[in-house]
A and B are shown apart, each in its own frame.
Chain A
Amino acid sequence: MTTTLVSAPAARAEEITRAYGAGNAGVRALDGVTLEIASRRLTAIMGPSGSGKSTLLHCMAGLDSVSSGRVLIAEHDLGAMSERELTVLRRDKVGFVFQAYNLVPTLTALENITLPLTLAGRRADPGWLDQVVTTVGLADRLTHRPSELSGGQQQRAAVARAMVTRPEIVFADEPTGNLDSRSGAEILGFLRRAVEHFDQTVAMVTHDPVAASYADAVVFLADGRIVDHMTDPTAQSVLDRMKAFGG
């Protein structure tokens, strides 16, 4: 089943499978998934636990390797890339927001935000950095260390870091999973704004229908396969669809 969304894709999965273990004892976390993540869109990937949604994200981000099939980011085939090329890709073309533990505890908020650039030996474009920092509302907390920031502030710093290199695509893995609903809403608002105002592309794994409602499109996963998709979702429509799967 092919799911095509509007506009040229920022990332693409072609018939990917991911198997753990071998033979009958093996588990297929992904079982022939084909998916395109449209540019300048916020795509949500949903599914019950064990549906393979996190594995899909990890595979598409080049953090995990696929057993078969191809993953392309900005038309680069990840399977053909060396370890070093993958590192450079993650640094320059991909942004990450994890559920928790997003920041290096010994670095300040600003240092964390500019970390991918520093690792590449580059300086941040001051205008862009300023814009990103202002957007996430951390301008007055840049010299603080992660331990001095609230959970919401930490996630905002993570969002800022993910965008600082103007990547092809930002992958967010349950970015609001550890937050209260107000902080969560803030983070989702930033991701939304990144897509709308800064032409960023975001792929976000979530199990929360409210979070999914911020997306332009939703892909539903169950048992390692894509079972459905939806455009312009609302929290209610997502919830209804999930109920239909028994999730």
Chain B
Amino acid sequence: MVKMSLFSVWHRRRRLASIALAVMLGVSFLTGTLVLGDTLKANFDRLFTQVSAGTSVVVRNTTGVQSRGADADRGLVDASIVPRIRSVAGVADAQGQVLGYGSLLGRDGTAIGGNGPPRQAGSWITTPALNPYQLVEGRAPVGPDEVVVNRGAATSGSLHLGDVTTLQTPQPVKVRIVGIATFGGADGFGQTTFAGFTLAGAQANVTRQPGRVSSVVVRAEPGVASDTLRNRIRTVLPRGVEAITGTQLTRERIDNISSSFLNLLRTFLVVFAGIALIVATLSINNTFSITVAQRTRELALLRAVGASRRQVRASVTLEALTIGVVAAAFGLLGGIGFAGLLKGMFDAFGFALPAGGLTIHTVSLAIAAGVGVLVTLLAAQIPARRASAVAPISALRESETEARALTRRRIVTGAVLAAVGGAGAVIGAVSGTVALAAPGALALVVGALVLAPVFVVPAAGLIGGIVRRVRPIAGRLAEDNARRNPRRTATTATALIIGVSVVSMFTLFTASLKATLDGQVRTGVKTDLVVSTPAFGGGRLSPQLVDELRHSPGVQRAVGLGGGPVKIGTESTTVSATDTAQLHEVMRFDTTAGSLTDLGSDGIAISKSNAAHRHWRLGSLVTVTFPGGSTARTTVRAIYDHADLLDDIVMPAALYAEHTVQPTDTVVFVATRPGVPLDVARRAIGPVAQADGGSVQDISQYGASTTSGLNTLLGIVYVMLALAVLIALLGIANTLALAVYERRRELGLLRAVGQSKRQVRSVLRLESVIVSTFGTALGLMLGGFLGWVFANTSGSSTIGFPVVQIAIVAVLGAIAGVLAAIRPARRAARLAILDAITAP
């Protein structure tokens, strides 16, 4: 029996090849995402281990406010502790270090690194063992304007030894490059740019706080354990300063990057791998069902000569196993290539990921291969059971086991699921309850798929009606073929339905998000011009820029908006910091209590929802803890209605600056003097803004730039979904090829009575177009609805309907049908008439 199954697989290898291809693609995707995850993790581990490789103990400010990235926002510590630490027994060396924000400009005057990676500036540590960077050219900085830069930054900015360039910290500082450094032999710490001053230079230019350092890095004498040294150092530290070992710091950074970035990325990738696998499973299941139906007589013959049901079932399962194993093996190979491709794709879209070769864990490969085989087996279970149910008598009859009729149970189940799910989703969307919308949406999708065969007949009639106008007879034959077995047509289209619905859901969702953000900008901002930094980059504007802009010709008013992470109690949150007295001149918002114009030096304003959430009212005392560990006792003096561009707490810029190391603005709103044409004002303030690393935008450009990150995300989503759609296409091609085999006598007959090869191909192509259009249309409807639901639950107030994108998806769906039909159509046309007519 085993031999027979294997022989059967070999005999039908061409028809089974496409099943294998679907499995292979699914496994490739999963392998690729897992390997990419492993690789990133390994690279981050390696990088962070290198950073603190020579460091035994790190001393730093105790208070950290969690923000994005590997390190929490932390305040400075007094440099006077450095000599105290040096005097601790077992300390070989201790160096105060400054590390902050600084964006290097390249030879062409633009920021190096574009919108992507972090930009750091700080002090150059002269003890090589404590410095993760190594000088490869030039020398260490001596003068206050001298810096060492990492080789990657120097190369991409075309900077050389002796060059003078600008470093925006964010105040522009002229620096001279005296040294080029590498990071563990590589061009830098991932894609991060780094500029290192002398300690004094860094204190003067980066943090602007002389006598204070970001942290102290300590090297132990040989034979002194880091733990021991850490404990000794702790005894000499003042309150608010802590000591941890270098290993602890590495661990902490790895954990932070894992929980913030890596896990998110991995979940994201696995979700798409999941979609690809579901699509693959459906298409495998469909193909197996058809092949079993086609082999009814063969299976019945086996039963007639004495094979038990179990044996028949086992033989089909064994076939699936064989295909699964072979395909998974190829999938693993493909997956490793795919991981490289994905990585390149992220790089191309501007998410610079740490460099380094692929890390391939056996566990990941085992998971991917295991899932692939399991999915194949699972997909073959229903067909296998149906195969075992073939009665021996079927060997003597012309009959099909593939059920055509729709059971009443199926229709009722589908209708109930879709109705309940749809209702849940609508209610969830309107009330903004994700907990109701998500399961509702899922039930709706399942219900719609169960019901899909019901729609096949009318849909095929509708699409066929259009097709028939162009091609009367071919259209008619194609339509009838598509309607012949609604269940099969629906199942064939299912993979495409899922693919297209996810695509359109994301499209609508992002369009709504963009429309909402854009709307917020348009309604929230009163000025015509805005100075901001390239979005997504973490680029920041100097607070001095506001003053400079204010004194520029044609400018009536300039108000900056900044802020950052703080703690309220133990909870991390973000605040907006601005010139509260003038904010109402440049932004539109409603104050429901108190007034923003007279907050005083210790007043804050809070949003209405925040007031309700924290039970604050006018006059409430709020203690805000800043990253440096310093606290401010503030009083609530105003409550405003939710304003989208503001955080839930607004405080005067002066108050925020007092407690923050590098206070910056993210955007400056610029109101022009009456009568000054926009382009004149724009030209006037352009150079001022540019000197500080900002760029002038009108309000619609600003609206577009705040959403440009979404385009990147959508691009990545599209690329990934393309794979799922590809698998769906394979499924359609597969079913058509099997249909050609089934209908070979009919095809032969048609050819005999005068159908040309072109007409044969045309019929197949049109049938495929009907199936794919059906799938695309249903997918668009489902996806559009889901997009609306999730746009609503995520708080988008404007629903964007991206007509162009949706039309593109629809057209692509139809074209996909044509592509899927190419091979089956060619095969159908090539059938020898005589063989076809005399086929059994």
Which of chain A's residues has its CB closest to B474's CB? A119
Q: Which parts of B811-840 form the interface with A (CB within 8 Å)?
A: 833-834, 837
**Contact across chains for B746 and A116 when beta carbons are under 8 A apart:** no
**Contact across chains for B834 and A87 when beta carbons are under 8 A apart:** no
Interface bracket on B: 20 to 34
**Stretch from A88-96, A132-140, A207-215 at the B interface:** A88-96
Residue from A87, A96, A161 with most neighbouring chain B CB atoms (10 Å): A87
Q: Is B231 in the interface zone, CB < 8 Å from A? A: no
With a cutoff of 8 Å between Cβ atoms, the chain B residues found around residue A102 in the complex are 749
Q: Is B745 in the interface zone, CB < 8 Å from A? A: yes
**Contact across chains for A63 and B745 when beta carbons are under 8 A apart:** no
Q: Is A66 in the interface zone, CB < 8 Å from B? A: no
**Contact across chains for A88 and B834 when beta carbons are under 8 A apart:** no
Q: Is A78 in the interface zone, CB < 8 Å from B? A: no
With a cutoff of 8 Å between Cβ atoms, the chain A residues found around residue B753 in the complex are 90-91, 96, 115-116, 119, 161
Chain A nearest Cβ from B586, distance in angstroms? 69
Which of chain A's residues has its CB closest to B484's CB? A106
Which of chain A's residues has its CB closest to B758's CB? A84
Residue from B753, B759, B834 with most neighbouring chain A CB atoms (10 Å): B753
Interface string of A97-110 (1 = CB under 8 A from B): 01001111111000
Q: Which parts of B743-764 form the interface with A (CB within 8 Å)?
A: 745-746, 749-757, 759
Q: Is A75 in the interface zone, CB < 8 Å from B? A: no
With A63-B833, A64-B834 as known contacts, state yes or no: A105 contacts B746, CB within 8 Å.
yes
Per the bound structure, the CA–CA distance linking A8 and B745 in Å amounts to 35
Of the residues A63, A90, A96, A119, contact of B473 by C-beta under 8 Å:
A119
Q: Is A118 in the interface zone, CB < 8 Å from B? A: yes
With A63-B833, A101-B837, A118-B472 as known contacts, state yes or no: A106 contacts B477, CB within 8 Å.
yes
Per the bound structure, the CA–CA distance linking A222 and B484 in Å amounts to 44
Chain B nearest Cβ from A227, distance in angstroms? 25
**Contact across chains for A63 and B834 when beta carbons are under 8 A apart:** yes
**Contact across chains for B759 and A119 when beta carbons are under 8 A apart:** yes
Q: Is A25 in the interface zone, CB < 8 Å from B? A: no
Chain A contact residue count (CB 8 A cutoff)? 27
Per the bound structure, the CA–CA distance linking A143 and B833 in Å amounts to 28
Which of chain B's residues has its CB closest to A96's CB? B752
Q: Is A22 in the interface zone, CB < 8 Å from B? A: no
Which of chain B's residues has its CB closest to A61's CB? B752
Per the bound structure, the CA–CA distance linking A96 and B833 in Å amounts to 13
Chain B nearest Cβ from A157, distance in angstroms? 12
Q: Which parts of A47-86 form the interface with B (CB within 8 Å)?
A: 58, 63-64, 83-84
**Contact across chains for B752 and A63 when beta carbons are under 8 A apart:** yes
Q: Which parts of B7-43 form the interface with A (CB within 8 Å)?
A: none
Interface string of B112-137 (1 = CB under 8 A from A): 00000000000000000000000000
Chain A nearest Cβ from B159, distance in angstroms? 69
Per the bound structure, the CA–CA distance linking A90 and B748 in Å amounts to 13
Chain A nearest Cβ from B761, distance in angstroms? 13
Q: Is B641 in the interface zone, CB < 8 Å from A? A: no
- 18 more A-B residue pairs beyond the given contacts A90-B752, A90-B753, A106-B484, with a C-beta to C-beta distance below 8 A: A63-B833, A84-B756, A87-B751, A88-B754, A90-B751, A91-B753, A96-B752, A98-B837, A101-B746, A101-B837, A106-B477, A107-B477, A115-B750, A115-B754, A119-B473, A119-B754, A119-B756, A120-B754
Which residues of A approach B to under 8 Å, CB–CB?
58, 63-64, 83-84, 87-88, 90-92, 96, 98, 101-107, 111, 115-116, 118-121, 161
Which residues of B approach A to under 8 Å, CB–CB?
472-473, 476-477, 480-481, 484, 745-746, 749-757, 759, 833-834, 837
Q: List 5 A-B contacts (CB under 8 A).
A: A63-B837, A84-B756, A118-B473, A119-B473, A119-B756
